[in-house]
Amino acid sequence: MIDKKQQITPLVKGLNRLSSDNMKLQFWGVRGTVPVAGKKTVHYGGNTCCVSLRIGKELFIFDGGTGIRELSNYLLAQNQLPISAKIFISHPHWDHINGLPFFCPFYMISNKFEIICSDHPTLTTEQIIFSQMNPIYFPVSNKEFLADIKFRPIKAEVFMLDDVRVQSIYLAHCELCLGYRIDYQNKSFCYICDNELYLETSPHYSQNDFEQLLELVKESTYLVIDSTYTDEEYASKENWGHSCISRVTILADQAKVKTLCLYHHDPYQTDLDIEKKLKQAKFALKTLRSKTRCICPREGDSLTF
């Protein structure tokens, strides 16, 4: 005999998701390396990497830089408890995990989170994240976390979260780093940070790596991607693990991405510098006669699709 509860549970989850078929993408931190402050960075914001994607009632969070504190404040203001989410970490460099100790929902009982990341060869993600809460560095221990927090180590793979398809691949960075693609119904979102798209003339260039990434982001609705440098800046920063505008636009055009989102801005870049990058990207796409749209989301921006 089939348990009726087993039949009903997937149905309820499906109905909850169908309550809103839209994806809502929100940006909480768009900087890379280190947070910045000052009047020259007010427009785009100074927090480091954090993006959220809501599909119906399901919440997916990408990276836990200082921007996750803004997301924390937003979630608490909604006053809809308990809070649950899947947190995808690209890699555990500071600008991607330093905000996690300031994520207030971790300290609240009944909340549930799953942190998804690739383990380091010698350390687990759990060890890396909790080590930054050692009393030498931080006054609050992870033992103060009251939420149910689980860790899920992954590699380059494909898996399902209910009816949401997730694909991960390794990126070109100085440490193990994952990029993600989320597919739900006929919509898709890709998060590629940090990643270096080498020039074809570079000895580090790999056609195989480029084609794998091209396939991952192919025809995605929104592509949020490392666009750290202008071409001029990149000339002196090759092999630093980040990409320049010309390579990002070529990838987006060849993959027939619908909307390209410039992301992970260099901390030395002012708002005006980022505006120049956006103009360069739009000009490059126009030169390629591309149908890809290019935008540069600011901290606090939201996109529904």
Q: Residues 137-152: pLDDT tens digits? A: 999 999 999 999 999 9
Residue 39 in domain:
yes
- 133 located within any domain: yes
Task: Write 273-277 long-range contacts (CB < 8 A, 24+).
Answer: 273/230, 274/43, 274/44, 276/230, 277/227, 277/230, 277/245
- The answer to whether the CB of 19 falls within 8 A of the CB of 58 is no
pTM listed for this prediction: 0.93
Q: Output the pLDDT for position 6.
A: 55
Let me know the angle formed at the C-alpha of 179 by 178 and 181, rounded to the nearest 5 degrees: 135
Identify whether 13 is part of a domain: no
Average pLDDT, the chain: 95
In a domain, 10, yes or no: no
18 located within any domain: no
Provide the phi-psi class of 165: left if phi over 0, else alpha when psi is between -120 and 50, else beta. Answer: beta
* CATH number of residue 291's parent domain: 3.60.15.10
In total, how many domains does the chain have?
A: 1
Per-residue model confidence as pLDDT tens digits over 151-201: 999 999 999 999 999 999 999 998 899 999 999 999 999 999 999 999 999
- Domain of residue 45 covers 23-304
User: How many angstroms from the chain centroid is the CA of residue 260?
Assistant: 14
Q: Is residue 148 part of a domain?
A: yes
Domain assignment present for residue 260? The answer is yes
Q: What is the pLDDT of residues 247-291, one digit of tens each?
A: 999 999 999 999 999 999 999 999 999 999 999 999 999 999 999
Indicate whether 116 belongs to any domain.
Answer: yes
Task: Express each pLDDT in 43-85 by its tens digit.
Answer: 999 999 999 999 999 999 999 999 999 999 999 999 999 999 9
Residue linked to tokens 């839209």 = 22
Angle between the N-to-C axes of helices 271-287 and 245-254, in degrees from 0 to 180, rounded to the nearest 10: 40
Q: Facing residues of 25 across strands?
A: 53, 303
Distance between CA atoms of residues 191 and 82, nearest Å: 26
